[in-house]
A and B are shown apart, each in its own frame.
Chain A
């Protein structure tokens, strides 16, 4: 049926893949209560309100809203929604319209160093968000192949940074050099030293962060955006520099903020453990723990337990 009326913002969103669920939302706010971004990163983050903005034709407000840009499609809200709206799809529809309108992401995203990129496509296959893709272009008269990252798709999880075998990808704050530089513990006493790589999302409450800060210098906490950012090389560099143990903390199965980072880190650390075993070196000095929504305070037990175990190993 032809209409003379111009398309409303809501019509445009409905027309995008995933946007068709828009009208099902009755603004109960259950999604907000489940959302880790709202709880940990951005109090203004609110899917319920974003969907409302769309229905009320508040185009510019929606495009400027952090909700449009920060959703990583972890989909913790999806099973909770009484209307079974796939909210991340609706948000993505809004984001795609925002990109079309010339808006860009406020997130720190990854960059590819073309002087190093060999075009192997490992980043392309790794990324949960289809951000990197291969391009061909002429360099000094020769066609060469590189990875290129769509900044608006990149959520900055850093999984590709760890996966890139050339070290050609960096994200400000969590480049290989920046993380390695934090692995330096000089303990004066005899207590075991421990590096804790902690995913930015697996600790649900401030009290857990306070626990991390309560440890003395022999426990070095290194914050990473996702446990999928861990590179087994970092763990080995830490151990080789005399550090006694490495603890990697990520989200519980099914709760990864970046969809698959916790599985990826679990694979990396399982293989590393197998390799340490082959070398007759495995004694539990590298451990991966997955902290879930219900695990408040567990981080203290994990760190203390690991320190006790390392102390026993040493004696």
Chain B
């Protein structure tokens, strides 16, 4: 047992999809189980935080951390697992870039709490109940984690060795990363693993746009019958493919839905959303300022569109909440 590499899996602010992608390995997971020692995996096995605290520093060889940093518990466990792990991997969009929970950065925490606990139309609570950090109960004081004002990525919280993108990372990439790890062939620290360097357009086989093919009207996928052979942008539908790292195998695009950008920006690109905005704005076709305004009204939610998975890691979040 002693010479097997020790692995840990953790979920922070996430939906659980990253856990499912690991179980999707199916029978291959049994092979992995033979080769490694899993020392911590709250979603699947019965370990407690105390078990992790009892480990020696750097005793975990590789830790897969999924989920964003939304509260004090996410943060504390990130620090704990960083201390106990030789290699820490940000696994999935949420820990890589903030993911869907990162969209909460559109609003400060007070606005969100007000919505959830006071003004949501489905709510019927005249007492104005709000969760309290500490509560006196007959059995003693209980505590819940503190919700932070800003959703952060794992790398904004602790030093991260590798990033594995995807919402969730596709199972074939997970398997290839496991094999890379077991073969001891991990690349330079700080790299993105389980993905490629260029964008989805590099591997997408749809017919690309040609000179003068521009956008006269932005449409959302449900508003148009999509041609399965043509580039979405040529059909006026915003696809995040040109601003998104390849590696997923294009399940959305092959399902005739535009890419939503979960694999994050490609190598060398800092801010996925502004790059996408710069690209789609360059395709707008009109020389009439009024028509131009009407065309842009078709981009209903530019932040949600271009930073669906990357808002927590974006310059916009830095601007709003400070670096």
Chain A residues with a Cβ under 8 A of chain B = 116-122, 124-127, 130, 133-134, 144-145, 159-160, 162-167, 228, 231-233, 236-237, 239-240, 253-254, 260, 263-264, 266-268, 270-272, 274-276, 278-281
User: Is A125 touching B302 in the complex (CB atoms < 8 A)?
Assistant: no
User: Is A130 touching B212 in the complex (CB atoms < 8 A)?
Assistant: yes
Instruction: Report the Cα distance A163→B209, complex, angstroms.
Output: 14
| Interface size range of chain B in the complex | 35 or more
Contacts of B198 in A (CB 8 A): 116-118, 166
| From A270, A274, A278, residue with most partner B Cβ within 10 Å | A270
User: Is B278 touching A162 in the complex (CB atoms < 8 A)?
Assistant: yes
> Which residue of A has the minimal Cβ distance to B322?
A240
Instruction: Report the Cα distance A124→B233, complex, angstroms.
Output: 12
Instruction: Report the Cα distance A231→B282, complex, angstroms.
Output: 10
| From B199, B234, B281, B289, residue with most partner A Cβ within 10 Å | B281
User: Is A271 touching B211 in the complex (CB atoms < 8 A)?
Assistant: no
> Which residue of A has the minimal Cβ distance to B282?
A163
> 19 A-B Cβ contacts within 8 A?
A118-B201, A118-B242, A121-B201, A122-B209, A124-B208, A124-B210, A124-B211, A125-B214, A130-B211, A145-B208, A233-B270, A233-B274, A236-B315, A271-B302, A275-B303, A275-B316, A279-B319, A281-B319, A281-B320
Neighbour of A278 across the interface among B241, B268, B283, B302, CB < 8 A:
B302
> Which residue of B has the minimal Cβ distance to A127?
B211
Determine if B171 is an interface residue (Cβ-Cβ < 8 Å). no
> Which residue of A has the minimal Cβ distance to B234?
A125
CB-CB nearest 3 A-B residue pairs: A120-B201, A163-B282, A267-B281
Contacts of A276 in B (CB 8 A): 316
Given contacts A122-B233, A127-B211, A240-B323, is CB(A264)–CB(B281) below 8 Å? yes
User: Is A240 touching B268 in the complex (CB atoms < 8 A)?
Assistant: no
Neighbour of A239 across the interface among B279, B289, B317, B319, CB < 8 A:
B319
> Which residue of A has the minimal Cβ distance to B295?
A267
The 0/1 profile, CB within 8 Å of A marked 1, for residues 278-307 of chain B is: 111111101111001101100101110010
User: Is B210 touching A232 in the complex (CB atoms < 8 A)?
Assistant: no
Chain B residues with a Cβ under 8 A of chain A = 105-108, 198-202, 208-214, 231, 233-234, 241-243, 246, 266-271, 273-284, 286-289, 292-293, 295-296, 299, 301-303, 306, 315-320, 323
Given contacts A119-B202, A165-B275, A236-B274, is CB(A271)–CB(B319) below 8 Å? no
User: Is B201 touching A232 in the complex (CB atoms < 8 A)?
Assistant: no
Contacts of B246 in A (CB 8 A): 118
User: Is A125 touching B213 in the complex (CB atoms < 8 A)?
Assistant: yes
Instruction: Report the Cα distance A228→B284, complex, angstroms.
Output: 12
User: Is B202 touching A118 in the complex (CB atoms < 8 A)?
Assistant: yes
Contacts of B231 in A (CB 8 A): 121
User: Is B319 touching A240 in the complex (CB atoms < 8 A)?
Assistant: yes
